[in-house]
């Protein structure tokens, strides 16, 4: 029923772990190599006989579509070599395919990254399961499944979770990877004209490099388009834009996000972000209100924005205002969150 397809190049660091986690599913696995010079192909061959070569054409969609053409099953699950399967409810996935034969299934990608010594965990939904009869990839980079014919894509969520390890490592390693992406994206804009999704990906690439000023400029350009706030990438772009403005100390400009509050304050992530924006503009009562609101919400992508991170920031505000008893109360509500424990120790409350 399902073929798992992936494209690889010099992926020996993660590939064995990726393939090992997929083997218990019993699905066909197709691996397409785009020019590895390390042991990638040998590793792939230990797990599947379906290993193919593809001459790299500076086009990720072309490679993706070639891998799909080698699959013997109609439904394609796309996994990358730097992703490790953590959860897969096989019975439910196959039931959902039968229920949504023309839809596109979205799995959960778990990202983990470190900034200034602090670990952040973010979960995102990404379109990865579809019929090869109805869909193919488009876009030279950050490619997306698109209808072969006419029609609107209907998405549905599948009970699949993968741990993404592609952005582990040093800032220099992240820059090396994202510099390649940036060159592709700039070329795509030049060849195909202005496109908000491409601009969003440029902003994300610069964000990963911690060049927050340039990231904000690309997000700003993309947000001039008339965009659907219900699209996940638009939600992520608005939030990333806010963080890019804060990280580049454009605090007053970040207040402009109040103009889209009603459209985006449906998730704890955006509400928490607004709390940070108010906080950095010395609007402390408004910030506390937003953090309390975020803490009462269920939907979030970044771990802690609706719990310990929100409480911690309320504690910081009250400590700065000299209201120590309330600061201690909210630091304690933050549980085992390291920065909160540190503040409690400084205040003599371990």
Residue 125, domain CATH: 3.90.550.10
- The Cα–Cα gap between 18 and 81 comes to 6
Whether residues 191 and 160 share a domain: the answer is: no
Whether residues 47 and 153 share a domain: the answer is: yes
Whether residues 91 and 239 share a domain: the answer is: no
pLDDT at residue 174, as a whole number: 74
pLDDT at residue 167, as a whole number: 62
Domain carrying residue 141: 2-164
Higher pLDDT pick, 156 / 119? 156
Q: Give 258-288 pLDDT, tens digit per residue.
A: 999 999 999 999 999 999 999 999 999 999 9
Q: Whats the size of the chain, residue-wise? A: 350
Could you give the angle at the alpha carbon of 116 between the alpha carbons of 113 and 119, nearest 5°?
A: 35
Q: Give 188-212 pLDDT, tens digit per residue.
A: 899 889 999 999 999 999 999 999 9
Token pair belonging to 339: 């920065």
Q: To the nearest whole number, what is the mean pLDDT of the chain?
A: 94
- The Cα–Cα gap between 116 and 277 comes to 19
DSSP H or E stretch at residue 40: helix 40-45
Q: Is 55 exposed, middle or buried (0-12, 13-18, 19+ CB in 10 A)?
A: exposed
Rg, Å, the chain Cα set: 22
DSSP H or E stretch at residue 135: strand 135-138
Decide if pLDDT at 170 tops 80: no
Token pair belonging to 262: 């009603």
pLDDT at residue 176, as a whole number: 78
- Assign 140 a pLDDT band (cuts: 50, 70, 90): confident
Q: Give 18-35 pLDDT, tens digit per residue.
A: 999 999 999 999 999 999
Q: Give 238-247 pLDDT, tens digit per residue.
A: 999 999 999 9
Q: Is 172 helix (H, G, I), strand (E, B) or coil?
A: helix
Token pair belonging to 70: 């080698």
Token pair belonging to 140: 């030279």
Whether residues 241 and 278 share a domain: the answer is: yes
Contacts 24+ apart (CB under 8 A), 191-194: 194/221
Averaged pLDDT, 79-90: 97
**Domain end marker among 164, 181, 196:** 164
- Beta strands 28-33 and 155-164, pairing class: unpaired
Exposure letters 192-222 (e unless 16+ CB within 10 A, then b): eeeebbbbbbbbbbbbbbebbebbbbbbbeb
Whether residues 132 and 254 share a domain: the answer is: no
Whether residues 234 and 342 share a domain: the answer is: yes
* Most confident residue range from 96-105, 111-120, 162-171: 96-105
Longest dimension (CA), the chain: 67
End-to-end CA distance of the chain: 56
- Assign 49 a pLDDT band (cuts: 50, 70, 90): very high
Q: Give 295-325 pLDDT, tens digit per residue.
A: 999 989 999 999 999 999 999 999 999 999 9
Decide if pLDDT at 151 tops 90: no
- Assign 39 a pLDDT band (cuts: 50, 70, 90): very high
Token pair belonging to 123: 């979960």
Whether residues 154 and 216 share a domain: the answer is: no
Whether residues 192 and 323 share a domain: the answer is: yes
- Assign 232 a pLDDT band (cuts: 50, 70, 90): confident
Decide if pLDDT at 217 tops 90: yes
- The CATH number of residue 277's host domain is 1.25.40.10
Whether residues 154 and 19 share a domain: the answer is: yes
**Domain end marker among 164, 183, 200:** 164
- Assign 169 a pLDDT band (cuts: 50, 70, 90): low
Whether residues 70 and 219 share a domain: the answer is: no
- Assign 133 a pLDDT band (cuts: 50, 70, 90): very high
pLDDT at residue 58, as a whole number: 87
Residue with tokens 């013997």: 72
For residues 334 and 308, the answer to whether their CB atoms sit within 8 Å is yes
- Assign 168 a pLDDT band (cuts: 50, 70, 90): low
What's the structural domain count of the chain? Answer: 2
**Domain end marker among 112, 144, 164:** 164
Whether residues 156 and 189 share a domain: the answer is: no
- Percent pLDDT > 90 in the chain is 84
Whether residues 141 and 187 share a domain: the answer is: no
pLDDT at residue 166, as a whole number: 67
């Amino acid at each position: 029923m399902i073929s798992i397809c992936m494209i690889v190049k010099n992926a020996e660091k993660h590939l064995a772990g990726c393939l090992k986690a997929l083997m218990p599913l019993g699905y066909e696995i197709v691996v397409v190599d785009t020019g590895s010079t390390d042991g990638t192909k040998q590793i792939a061959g230990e797990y599947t006989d379906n290993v193919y070569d593809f001459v790299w054409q500076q086009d990720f969609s072309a490679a993706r579509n070639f891998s799909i053409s080698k699959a013997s099953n109609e439904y394609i699950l796309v996994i990358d070599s730097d992703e490790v399967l953590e959860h897969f409810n096989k019975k439910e996935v196959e039931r959902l395919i039968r229920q949504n034969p023309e839809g596109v299934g979205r799995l959960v990608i778990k990202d983990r990254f470190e900034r200034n010594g602090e670990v952040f965990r973010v979960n995102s939904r990404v379109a990865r399961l579809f019929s090869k009869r109805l869909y193919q990839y488009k876009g030279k980079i950050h490619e997306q499944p698109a209808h072969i014919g006419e029609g609107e894509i209907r998405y549905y969520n599948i009970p699949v979770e993968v741990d993404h390890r592609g952005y582990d490592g040093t800032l220099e390693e992240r820059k090396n990877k994202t510099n390649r992406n940036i060159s592709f994206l700039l070329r795509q804009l030049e060849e195909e004209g202005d496109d908000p999704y491409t601009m969003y990906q440029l902003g994300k690439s610069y964000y990963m490099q911690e060049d927050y000023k340039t990231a904000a400029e690309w997000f700003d350009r993309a947000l001039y388009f008339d965009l659907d706030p219900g699209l996940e990438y638009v939600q992520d772009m608005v939030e990333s834009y806010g963080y890019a403005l804060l990280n580049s100390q454009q605090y007053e400009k970040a207040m402009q996000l109040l103009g889209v509050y009603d459209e985006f304050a449906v998730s704890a992530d955006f509400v928490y972000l607004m709390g940070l924006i108010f906080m950095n503009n010395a609007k402390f009562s408004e910030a506390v209100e937003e953090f309390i609101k975020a803490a009462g919400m269920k939907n979030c992508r970044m771990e802690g924005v609706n719990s310990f991170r929100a409480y911690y920031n309320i504690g910081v505000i009250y400590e700065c205002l000299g209201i120590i008893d309330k600061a201690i109360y909210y630091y304690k509500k933050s549980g085992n969150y390291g920065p909160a424990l540190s503040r409690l120790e400084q205040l003599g409350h371990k």
